[in-house]
Structure 1
Amino acid sequence: MNQKKIYFYPIIVLFFIFSIDKIACIPEFREAARRSYKPGQNILLGFPKVWEENKIRQLENQKIILVTGSSRSEILHEWEEIPVKPTTYNKPVYFETRSAVKASEYMLNYLLLKGMIDTGFKPNLMFIEFSEEMLNENNSFSYKTKWKELMLTEDQLLDIFPVFNPQYKLEIMSRLIFLSYNYHIRPIQGISNLIKGEKASDDLYFIAISSYLNKKRPFDPNHIGIEIDNFSPQDYESRIINYTKEIQDMMLRNYRFSDTEFGFLKKIINLAETHNIPTVIWEPQVHPYYQNLRKSITGGNLYETILLPQLNPNSKNIRTISLNKGNTNCKTYADSSHVSTICVPEIVDKLLQTAKDIPNFQ
């Protein structure tokens, strides 16, 4: 008789899990029992306000240029007003730089842009960063890290499902089948919060949502970096050699080309083409010391060998430019991986000059 009871235990456990999962479908319980938001989730949650702000700017006859990418793109955020040459572009323009997120990667970039389209906002032009580090499967800040931070909706999970490898496809299926797993439901916490009339803690939401609260910073001429030929031995050691080691350990360690990250970049390209968004995909300039090291690790120039073959040369929406080809006058660096913010006006001018060749750009 006792053995027969044992047979019922798995059924009881499954029934308990199934019951919790069904209860998790109730929005009030889910909001009380879910895990607290983490930085990646906060960014996605904060951007609808950003898109609404930009819709208003467009109604006021401003052209919106959206900037996405890592810290190499985030330097554009260091200029409250980026000067634009009238001979290059003579219309009122606003650079939306809050969408450039330090240590970001293509999955997060895609989710931001897809969310933007879903709200009905379409920028007049996009600057999309191409950096080889963002295509490293073993990057410390790859999609694997962001994936752990996110609680995505059913539509989002279905949308990104084809990009992933079998391991993560199984993970997505588990999240789709069990809502409680997707939202990390804690039953006792949920019951307690419901009794108190509270939701799961949102403290991190207000701390980490730099995408909305972090205002543009006025250009600071006192911190512009160092000219390439003017580094002291000490500065060269710290800013170039040692910083390169740090980046190598975090971004380039055990370099393996990521089909998943590249899949999200292709989805970004498809998004731009499908919605006729003029787009410049650009490769930021880095210090020659770091560039040579990176090339030895990644195996070559991925901008030419990986990116360009994916693009239609007759596209009415997309053009590309690499700033590592000696086509800028910028010789000032903050460190081995980033040019100085003083280079931003020239960077923007180069990208706008490239955009003028896009048929759908006005």
Structure 2
Amino acid sequence: MKSKPFLFYPVVLFFFIFFVDKIFLLPIFHDEFLQAGNSVFYFQRKVLKDRLAKDPDLKEKKLTLVFGDSRSYPFSELGIPEPLKKDWILYNFSSPQGIPMNSFVQLERILETGVTPDFIILSLSPEAFDDSKGFILSPFLRMGCDQNCINMVWDDIPLKEKWYYVLDHVFAIRSIEFNLSLFSSRLKQGNLKEYKASHNKEYQLINYTKGEYLMYGVQSNPIEKIKNDTLRIGSLYMSSYQLGKSQLPYVERFLKITKEKKIKTLVVWPKVFPEYYAYYEKFHIKEVWWNPLETMAKGYGAYTLNWNVPGTCDLFNDASHQSAFCFVDQMKEIWLNYAEK
């Protein structure tokens, strides 16, 4: 072995990488290290919670909170119909791949600040309930769930995700989803300061109002483009769809709290492009997912609204997201039939 020191090189390299990786445990990478997309949203939602608690309008107006995934980004108080708009404020806590586990944790944290909403819109998507697709759970577990949260949800996390969580702590760079190409681009342009919220344009856009993100779907794209997107996401999300068990308990816990607090609640199933909905039909999503959820919601006194029916808005930004233009009429429908009912 003395004559073959090169045999130790892989071991030395491993330990070198292992110790360099621990740089990513520093608070600077976890307190405020904004990359793009997911990390920006999850950080902003923490800021939004503090902004909400200090909002002076809470004393005079009724409060609506929105929870869900990217399909509910455009819910905004701008869409509340006149003359009811003057009586309401709306904060949107929808998050990228916002699973029900995330919605429940956010609601609990908001209630702990002493804020109790008058009305809640809980947007649910069947993709969030497929435990076999680990990439759906990972954004929340990495960026929206602190140690107290992990302790609470640990028993409900699929075994595969527990393994990934352990790896995130062995190799710290995994836990921040470090984007090397973005780092290189910012370094070349001298824009490393964009890792801070005060210089991050994406964060500033989201944080400008109350959490809604109207820019995500402001147009209705050509049908051919949407059909191509249908094939992509159909393969990504709906191939071998399996209804898991991790998220259902958190929908029920969410609804139990709203019933106990006497918070009027609407559970929404957002509409998707008809050809993508065909994937839902293939896996009997309405029968195996929506119908039981609808029964559960009504059992806790919540309203339900399925927009995947004929006669609802048919403008789409992509196969999975309606155009933001749809939300004008949809907000009117919600306020006249549910919020003010």
Counterparts of 1:133-148 in structure 2 under 5 Å? 133-139=127-133, 141-148=135-142
Cα deviation for residue 326 of structure 1 reads: 2.9
Alpha-carbon separation, structure 2, partners of 1:91 and 1:282:
24
Alpha-carbon separation, structure 1, partners of 2:62 and 2:261:
17
In the superposition, the TM-score normalised over structure 1's length comes to 0.65
Alpha-carbon separation, structure 1, partners of 2:112 and 2:202:
20
Q: 2:87 aligns with which of 77, 89, 92?
A: 92
Q: Is contact 1:140-1:250 (8 Å) kept? A: no
Counterparts of 1:274-285 in structure 2 under 5 Å? 274-285=260-271
Alpha-carbon separation, structure 1, partners of 2:138 and 2:213:
34
Counterpart of 1:280 in 2: which secondary structure?
Answer: strand
Name the residue aligned to 1:68.
Answer: 67
Alpha-carbon separation, structure 2, partners of 1:218 and 1:108:
18
Name the residue aligned to 1:161.
Answer: 154
Counterpart of 2:316 in 1: which secondary structure?
Answer: strand
Aligned length, in residue pairs: 291
Counterpart of 1:95 in 2: which secondary structure?
Answer: strand
Computing the radius of gyration over CA atoms, which structure comes out larger, 1 or 2?
1
Counterparts of 1:1-362 in structure 2 under 5 Å? 33=26, 36-37=29-30, 46-55=44-53, 56-76=55-75, 81-86=78-83, 89=84, 91-97=86-92, 99-139=93-133, 141-149=135-143, 152-153=146-147, 155-165=148-158, 204=195, 206=197, 207=200, 210=203, 213-216=206-209, 223-225=218-220, 235-239=222-226, 241-302=227-288, 304-313=290-299, 315=301, 318-326=302-310, 328=312, 330-356=313-339
What one-letter code is carried by the residue in structure 2 that aligns with 1:254? S
What one-letter code is carried by the residue in structure 2 that aligns with 1:163? D
Q: Is contact 2:64-2:89 (8 Å) kept? A: yes
Alpha-carbon separation, structure 2, partners of 1:326 and 1:90:
28
Q: Is contact 1:135-1:258 (8 Å) kept? A: yes
Instruction: Name the structure where helix makes up a greater proportion of residues.
Output: 2
Cα deviation for residue 335 of structure 1 reads: 2.6
Name the residue aligned to 1:188.
Answer: none
Cα deviation for residue 84 of structure 1 reads: 0.9
Q: Is contact 1:126-1:277 (8 Å) kept? A: yes
Q: Is contact 2:68-2:123 (8 Å) kept? A: yes
**CA-based RMSD:** 4.0
Cα deviation for residue 151 of structure 1 reads: 5.9
Alpha-carbon separation, structure 2, partners of 1:148 and 1:32:
13
Q: Is contact 1:70-1:100 (8 Å) kept? A: yes
Alpha-carbon separation, structure 1, partners of 2:51 and 2:94:
17
Counterpart of 2:271 in 1: which secondary structure?
Answer: coil
Change (3 A) 1:50 1:109: same
Q: Is contact 1:285-1:324 (8 Å) kept? A: yes
Name the residue aligned to 1:9.
Answer: none
Q: Is contact 1:110-1:268 (8 Å) kept? A: yes
Cα deviation for residue 164 of structure 1 reads: 3.2
Alpha-carbon separation, structure 2, partners of 1:307 and 1:111:
19
Which residues of structure 1 form unaligned runs of 5+? 1-29, 186-200, 227-234
Q: Percent identity?
A: 15
Change (3 A) 1:208 1:42: farther
Alpha-carbon separation, structure 2, partners of 1:70 and 1:130:
7
What one-letter code is carried by the residue in structure 1 that aligns with 2:130? N
More displaced 10-residue stretch of structure 1: 104-113 or 45-54: 45-54
What one-letter code is carried by the residue in structure 2 that aligns with 1:214? N
Cα deviation for residue 166 of structure 1 reads: 5.8
Name the residue aligned to 1:5.
Answer: none
Counterpart of 1:246 in 2: which secondary structure?
Answer: helix
Change (3 A) 1:171 1:102: closer
What one-letter code is carried by the residue in structure 2 that aligns with 1:245? L
What one-letter code is carried by the residue in structure 1 that aligns with 2:73? E
Name the residue aligned to 2:189.
Answer: none
Change (3 A) 1:301 1:208: farther
Change (3 A) 1:277 1:158: farther
Alpha-carbon separation, structure 2, partners of 1:273 and 1:244:
37
* 1:136-184 deviation digits (Å, cap 9, x = unpaired): 223464224432446623x323322343346667999x89xxxx95995
Cα deviation for residue 70 of structure 1 reads: 1.7
Counterpart of 2:240 in 1: which secondary structure?
Answer: coil
Which residues of structure 2 form unaligned runs of 5+? 1-22, 174-191
